Chains A and B, each alone.
Chain A
């Protein structure tokens, strides 16, 4: 679905100096896959995300989405329809003063005939569990609900892939739970490819694959079990493994025999009780 080869992206900062935000990224994302991207602040996660729907173009290397090269200007709108993007601040991505009007914004932009827009809006709101709020004013919703409206706005474009750039960073625990559950269900039930950027490691546990970034490079990747059992390496990159993985690692170091792939609380509890 998405194929990134030798991708480099350089910014020029305020002093005219070159910042190598991405310095040679190779990544293939399969259709229907759920990929989580983790990495310290400034490691280039947002820059990578913005290449996936042609908001940014590569300085070097290529990025193709569904076979379309993002560099070709003619592909831009097809790519943006295929790959939706959710941002961190729930307030600053909702355009209209009524939920359903906002969800209709995307289909209206690509010229979907009037009579087909309403069914799309209803389907999209149902997919994120916000049907009851169709007529509400967005500024009165909770953070988690606003993010779900933002996701519905993308679903109405019938995308193949949704990229979420730290969607839970400004939410309370309840809102975070809502978003993770929504994203999981879109992936499992609707087959939407998910690229999920987060700095909450527990959220990344839901992914099929976790990609670890540092200073514009991919350091390593694998299943959540493979990645989160490398507790010490993660720590060197400024990342904290889930608590259970850390505890298990400490216990192993002090001589207690535990399997290497413990990453959730349940697994830890089970292993300790044996």
Chain B
């Protein structure tokens, strides 16, 4: 049961987006997010939606699957939308009920905020759908490396993520096993109120922690035996390297951001 939880949501493939360097995808996602916050007209939002649709199409991911990534947080989107609708200041009232009133401005602002959240999520889920967690880790390590000078432990963070990816399935299997063993001895993990359930989990957590610490110690010794001594002087089997498709992708997303900036401020600049 527990082991059925899949890690990340990588969907293997060989599309243009899949083949991009992970750093390109991370940076492009950040640039796209900036672009989202530059948009303020329907035309700008239309362009953003079009761009996201284009990227999803190029990535050859099943559209339904990408949309499903919104599911866990649709409630947050809805709440954001409602709060903005009711609280935005405005004159043109469209609807009133007792003390509540929705203004046209509120309606527009609410829709805008919801749209921003949806676009942000869709775009970043394309990143995780098209990049395996391992490659993503490599990308993050490489991107953070310049910040080592100011104390960002780039290699250590990446090593932690690598080990976490390796051991989460193992620990889930183990949790499953301990749960089954204790259920067989009469333990109950699925009834009672929250406090009772938390209390019932305790006999599960203790052996799990003990075993996790033992594993960590053994793994550390095994790593030392394999000449591990930190990130200094380490090489990689797959060295990341930007290819021409990466420059194409950067070009596209930077063009998008600049375009939206011009749409927003361009008129003002012309007037000057």
Choice from A104, A114, A121, A139 contacting B170 with Cβ under 8 Å: A139
Measured between beta carbons, the chain A residues less than 8 angstroms from B237 are 100-101, 104, 107-108, 114, 117-118, 121
Task: Contacts A95-B163, A104-B237, A114-B237 given; indicate if A81 touches B169 (C-beta within 8 A).
Answer: no
A234 within 8 A of B: no
Q: Is A157 interfacial (CB-CB < 8 Å)?
A: yes
Using Cβ atoms and an 8 Å threshold, which residues of chain A touch B224? Answer: 55, 80
Q: How many residues on chain B are close to A (CB under 8 Å)? A: 29
Provide the residues of chain A in CB contact with B205, threshold 8 Å.
none
Whether A139 lies near B228 (C-beta < 8 A) is no
- Residues of B near A97 (CB, < 8 A) are 133-134, 162, 165-166
Cβ of A262 < 8 Å from any Cβ of B? no
Q: Whole-angstrom distance between the alpha carbons of A221 and B53 in the complex?
A: 73
Stretch at the interface among A58-66, A83-91, A172-180, A197-205: A83-91
A157 to B222, CA, bound (A): 14
Shortest beta-carbon distance, A162 to chain B, in Å? 11
Which residues from B are CB-within-8-Å of A107? 235, 237
- Report the Cα distance A40→B215, complex, angstroms: 24
Interface residues on chain A, number (Cβ under 8 Å): 41
A81-B218 in contact given A96-B162, A97-B166, A114-B236 (Cβ < 8 Å): no
The residue that A55 contacts in the complex, of B215, B221, B227, B233, with Cβ under 8 A, is: B221
Is the pair A106, B226 in contact by a Cβ cutoff of 8 Å?
yes
Minimum CB–CB distance for B3 against chain A, Å: 9
Q: Does A77 contact B (CB under 8 A)?
A: yes
Residues of chain A with a CB closer than 8 A to B162's CB = 95-97
- Give Cα distance in the complex from A109 to B166, angstroms: 18
Question: Smallest Cβ distance from A226 to chain B, in angstroms?
Answer: 32
Could you list which residues of chain A lie within 8 angstroms of chain B, going by C-beta atoms?
53, 55, 77, 80-81, 84-85, 87, 89, 91-98, 100-102, 104-114, 117-118, 121, 137-139, 150, 153-154, 157
Interface positions of B (Cβ within 8 A of A): 133-134, 162-163, 165-166, 169-170, 173, 214-215, 218-219, 221-229, 233-239
